[in-house]
Amino acid sequence: MFKHLNKFMFIFLIFVLTTGVLFGAYFLYKQFFVNQPLSVTLDNSELISEYQFIQDRKKPILKIKLNRVENFSELFQGFLTSSGQVLTEKHLEIQLSSSPNAKLIEFYQEINPSLFEAITLGNYSELQQKIEDGNNNLSKARLTISEKYIFLELEDDDRYLYYVLDRHNDNFPRIINNMGSDI
């Protein structure tokens, strides 16, 4: 009877050690090849003032509080390029937060239907003209269109609203724009 008990204990010990090695390897991979490169990119970016990584059960969420910058579209595309592999592997959802005032939000609400109309119909020149015509003495109102995204940069003195709209539904990471800061 003790011979069989020793065999079962030996098999159980091997099972525990194997499981421990597998989970340890997964943790090390996740820490050193996913989280650490992403946090280095986030910490060194002049575009990002704060960030919070939330591991949700369905999909991970990265909340980013944006800084006011001179050329948002260029810096954001650089951020996506430098951390693109990590972002697409994890199927992250990125939530962007700006620091708008009531004037910026009102202007955004006026042109919001035109943004989605431009994506559907492809009339980007009309959208640009509407932004230029409706500019209510904002210090900056810029529209930038890339292959994958539409970038809207609105600034009023020290307040700013940066908005990223995905031109295709199958792009990763998924980007969600929050009007204010909730970090």
Q: Kindly report which listed range (12-16, 135-139, 163-167) carries the lowest average pLDDT score.
A: 135-139
The model's pTM is: 0.73
- Dist CA 85 CA 89 (whole Å): 6
pLDDT-derived band at 183 (thresholds 50, 70, 90) equals very low
What are the strands of the beta sheet with 60-66, ordered from one edge?
48-55, 60-66, 93-97, 174-178
The per-residue pLDDT for range 48-101, each reduced to its tens digit, is 888 887 876 677 788 889 888 888 888 888 888 877 666 666 667 888 888 888
Query: Is residue 60 helix, strand or coil?
Result: strand
Share of the chain above pLDDT 70, in %: 78
Alpha helices in the chain (DSSP H): 2-29, 36-43, 72-82, 84-89, 102-121, 124-134
User: CA torsion 94→145→147→60, rounded to 10°?
Assistant: 0
First to last CA, the chain: 61
Q: What's the token pair of residue 4?
A: 């069989």
- Dist CA 63 CA 149 (whole Å): 19
- State the burial class of residue 27 (Cβ atoms within 10 Å of its Cβ: 0-12, 13-18, 19+): exposed
Burial 65-97 (b: 16+ CB within 10 A, else e): bbbbbeebbebbbebbebbeebbeebebbbbbb
Domain ranges for the chain, please list them: 1-44, 47-178
